[in-house]
Amino acid sequence: MAAFAPLPRPCNAEGAPRRVGVEIEFGGLSERDAADLCARVLGGTAVQLDSHIWRVEDSEIGTLDIYLDIFLRKAQQSRLRDQALDLGREVVPVEIVTEPLDMDGLSRLDDLRDALRKAGALGSGAGWFFGFGVHLNIEIASDRDRDIVRPLLAYALIEDWLRADNPIDDSRRLLPFTDPYPTEFVRALIKAGPEATRDHVTGLYLEYTPSRNRGLDMLPVFAHFDAERIAAAISDKTSARPTFHFRLPDCRIDEDGWSLAEEWHRWIVVERVAEDGALLDRLAQAWEDDHGLLTLSRQSWAERAGRILRTAGLARA
């Protein structure tokens, strides 16, 4: 089993291990084949719920839902709907969605990832229109404002480095959810500071980036605390949940050597920055120095942030 580094704050406010829900998108396999493979690797029973929706019940890591990731699957089943889903199969990913998992569960999921690769699952790089991704839904450490605000600030400060360290696949670069946070939002976050209230930061988020199409989608966790406020400001449906919705830029499931554990490390860096007040301040000051009044290039900041992270022992040389 692949080893997943523990979170800097491994337990929630109740003392239970923080859990992570995972969504994996890929091509090359049908929903049926993916469900059967999940059941063979992780145990349990594959059950067909709809023409394009499967579920694996009672697996080693709980329930797994497997389906074509397109809004049409939610429409009432009909021959026309099923034909449309079949036509879209060439570009619409199959998605596996897990229950919230502990670290052992993540390791077993990575074993499944390897089995999917060997069975012919395709990642983002296998086709121009294969804009597939991996999403991690990481349980927040607590309801305290600082445990929401500081990871958000940490991510915003190092996002350009995260993207440069793992360049996004060209197909996914064309899609709207690859957009980084606006510079003015990061500037406003820095001004608010790591001790800002969640309420204030929610307002900044809705003012500067009222969208779910970000690398770190904060709307689910904000909706967990204030669903009416988010619903009034955002037309996109937002599922309220106490998790950071971290969208990894692509899915490289067909590449030998790629693993979920490696991608998980990206979030570990975010939380380690959030836990280090001095490092957070250093990054914030350097960001302001680098950007000035006008941002001409994100690349220079990505390189500078990388140097700071390497000095702190958080980035590879």
Note whether residue 277 is domain-resident.
yes
- So what's the pLDDT on residue 68? 81
Minimum mean pLDDT among 78-87, 134-143, 175-184, 283-292: which range?
78-87
How many independent structural domains does the chain possess? 2
Note whether residue 192 is domain-resident.
yes
| Residue 167 confidence class, pLDDT cut points 50, 70, 90 | low
Residues 210 and 276 in one domain: yes
Selected residue with higher pLDDT from 182 and 125? 182
| Residue 51 confidence class, pLDDT cut points 50, 70, 90 | confident
The secondary structure of the chain as a DSSP string is ----PPPSS-B-TTSSBP-EEEEEEEBSS-HHHHHHHHHHHH-SEEEEEETTEEEEEEETTEEEEEEE-SGGGGSPP-HHHHHHHHHGGGTSPEEEEEPPB-HHHHHHHHHHHHHHHHTT-B-GGGSTT----EEEEEEPS-SSTHHHHHHHHHHHHHHHHHHHHSPPPHHHHTSGGGPPPPHHHHHHHHHH-TT--HHHHHHHHHHH---S-SSEE-HHHHHHH-HHHHHHH--S-----SEEEEEES---TTSTT--HHHHHHHHHHHHHHHH-HHHHHHHHHHHHHHHTT----HHHHHHHHHHHHHHTT-S--
End residue of a domain, out of 86, 121, 156: 121
- So what's the pLDDT on residue 192? 98
- So what's the pLDDT on residue 238? 84
Cβ distance 31 to 38 under 8 Å?
Answer: no
Mean pLDDT value across residues 177-202: 93
Selected residue with higher pLDDT from 297 and 70? 297
Mean pLDDT value across residues 190-196: 98
Residues 160 and 74 in one domain: no
**What domain range is 85 assigned to?**
16-121
Mean pLDDT value across residues 199-221: 95
pLDDT at residue 251 greater than cutoff 90: no
Q: Two tokens at 279?
A: 């490092």
Note whether residue 308 is domain-resident.
yes
Note whether residue 8 is domain-resident.
no
Note whether residue 6 is domain-resident.
no
Note whether residue 79 is domain-resident.
yes
pLDDT at residue 188 greater than cutoff 60: yes
| Residue 52 confidence class, pLDDT cut points 50, 70, 90 | confident
- Tokens 């915003």 correspond to 156
Residues 105 and 153 in one domain: no
Residues 284 and 161 in one domain: yes
Residues 89 and 189 in one domain: no
Residues 117 and 185 in one domain: no
- So what's the pLDDT on residue 74? 44
Mean pLDDT value across residues 207-234: 94
* Cα 210 from Cα 219, distance rounded (Å): 8
pLDDT at residue 66 greater than cutoff 90: yes
Residues 160 and 265 in one domain: yes
Residues 104 and 151 in one domain: no
| Residue 75 confidence class, pLDDT cut points 50, 70, 90 | very low
Q: What is the model's pTM?
A: 0.90
End residue of a domain, out of 73, 91, 121: 121
| Residue 72 confidence class, pLDDT cut points 50, 70, 90 | very low
Note whether residue 268 is domain-resident.
yes
Residues 206 and 304 in one domain: yes
* Cα 8 from Cα 272, distance rounded (Å): 6
Residues 171 and 266 in one domain: yes
| Residue 71 confidence class, pLDDT cut points 50, 70, 90 | very low
pLDDT at residue 280 greater than cutoff 70: yes
- So what's the pLDDT on residue 189? 98
Residues 190 and 297 in one domain: yes
Residues 60 and 177 in one domain: no
Mean pLDDT value across residues 150-156: 98
Note whether residue 156 is domain-resident.
yes
Average pLDDT, the chain: 87
